[in-house]
DNA sequence: GTAAATAGTTAACTATATAAACTATAAATA
DNA sequence: TATTTATAGTTTATATAGTTAACTATTTAC
């Protein structure tokens, strides 16, 4: 199948897959505990801690004021904290708290369960083949 | 591979794929012409026209006031319009305009190009296999 | 024929985003 | 060294998108 034909059929398929996945949506999101952008930031901080605000904003492609507001709300919930950089006093570094880490690991667990459920209905061979191909695709993308 | 192991590896893979896809993001979104929710609603209306507000809100899992606001902004841009239902005068039906249709078809074309580009770097066999498996997954999901 | 349910909107609030203006600090340069 | 320029972060003002609660106008049910 040509890349063009493939693109055409993927555009039809993706919305249906997304809706299927959304039905297993995280309790943390659906119960209004935290929002999607807050979840993304927490996941980011759980991997790259002590992150300058500027870098955080660029990682998510948002403006610095937007990052300030997001962090304000995470900090108000006790999920993250600010710290001064002693080397460069302009910089504010943000990191995740233990409470934030607990939420991230719960959300990851829920996501794993979602993929297990959605892809659990096809054969083991199909799952393995699917993942192998997706890994090849991701490898062609610069990280 | 077990569904559990599969879930675990998908959770690691998806953010990288998403970032790769985001780099090809639509001009209509990145240039600030319309927003993501507006795009979703326009796509919906291009398939199911003359849609009651209530049904629209339920389709997207948002409240009715949120749907009212979304439609207000689409109508202000000339991309959609309201109409009374003569059978039931409580109902307001919304539909897409020719201008809205043009935007939707441009966005679809951009999405097709994105998938062509991202999956164009793997082999034709892999593309065909990938799509076949994804179709099996989607079939297990109620629409 | 009145009570209850449904459809849509408005109002008040929160979260997320933007751009512009501001403060503080560091780096570059005359 | 003194001054200009660049960088980091915040504040302010504005727009979009979502919520719940309260309201109007219909339709349906009893």
Q: What is the pLDDT of residue B21?
A: 84
Record the pTM: 0.89
Q: What is the pLDDT of residue B116?
A: 94
Cα(B40)–Cα(A15) distance, integer angstroms? 10
Classify burial at B110, counting beta carbons within 10 Å of its beta carbon; exposed 0-12, middle 13-18, buried 19 or more: middle
Does at least one atom of strand D sit less than 7 Å from the CB of B73?
A: yes
Segment A28-58, tens digit of pLDDT: 887 778 999 999 999 999 999 899 999 999 9
Give the burial string for A115-136 (b: 16+ CB within 10 Å, else e). Answer: bbebbbebeeebbebbbebbee
Q: How far is the CA of A28 from the C1' of D20 (A)?
A: 20
Helix (H) or strand (E) holding B81: strand B80-84
* Residues 6+ positions from B11 with CB-CB distance below 8 Å: A108, A111, A112, A115
Q: How far is A93 from chain B (nearest CA, A)?
A: 23
* Residues 6+ positions from B78 with CB-CB distance below 8 Å: B97, B99, B100
Does at least one atom of strand D sit less than 7 Å from the CB of B63?
A: yes
Q: What is the pLDDT of residue B1?
A: 86
Does at least one atom of strand D sit less than 7 Å from the CB of A67?
A: yes
- Is residue A88 over pLDDT 90? yes
Q: What is the pLDDT of residue A17?
A: 87
* Residues 6+ positions from A72 with CB-CB distance below 8 Å: none
- Is residue A142 over pLDDT 80? no
Q: What is the pLDDT of residue B136?
A: 94
Q: What is the pLDDT of residue B19?
A: 80
Stretch A8-28: mean pLDDT = 84
Report residues of chain B scoring pLDDT below 70: 142-143
Contact A49, A96 (CB under 8 A): yes
Concatenate the DSSP letters of all residues of B1-54 into one string: --HHHHHHHHHHHHHHHHHHHHTT--HHHHTTSS-HHHHHHHHHHHHS-SEEHH
- Is residue A104 over pLDDT 90? yes
Of B6, B20, B127, the CB nearest to A6: B127
Tokens standing for residue A78: 């006790």
Helix (H) or strand (E) holding B75: helix B64-76
């Amino acid at each position: 199948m040509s890349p063009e034909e493939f693109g055409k059929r993927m555009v039809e398929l993706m919305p249906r897959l997304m809706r299927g996945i959304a039905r297993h949506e995280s309790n943390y999101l659906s119960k209004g505990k935290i929002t999607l952008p807050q979840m993304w930031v927490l996941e980011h901080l759980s991997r790259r801690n002590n992150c300058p605000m500027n870098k955080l904003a660029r990682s998510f492609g948002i403006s610095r004021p937007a990052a300030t507001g997001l962090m304000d709300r995470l900090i108000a919930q006790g999920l993250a904290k600010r710290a001064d950089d002693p080397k460069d006093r302009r910089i504010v570094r943000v990191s995740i708290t233990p409470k934030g880490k607990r939420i991230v690991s719960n959300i990851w667990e829920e996501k794993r369960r979602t993929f297990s459920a959605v892809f659990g209905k096809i054969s083991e061979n199909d799952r393995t083949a699917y993942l192998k191909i997706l890994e090849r695709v991701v490898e062609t993308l610069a990280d």
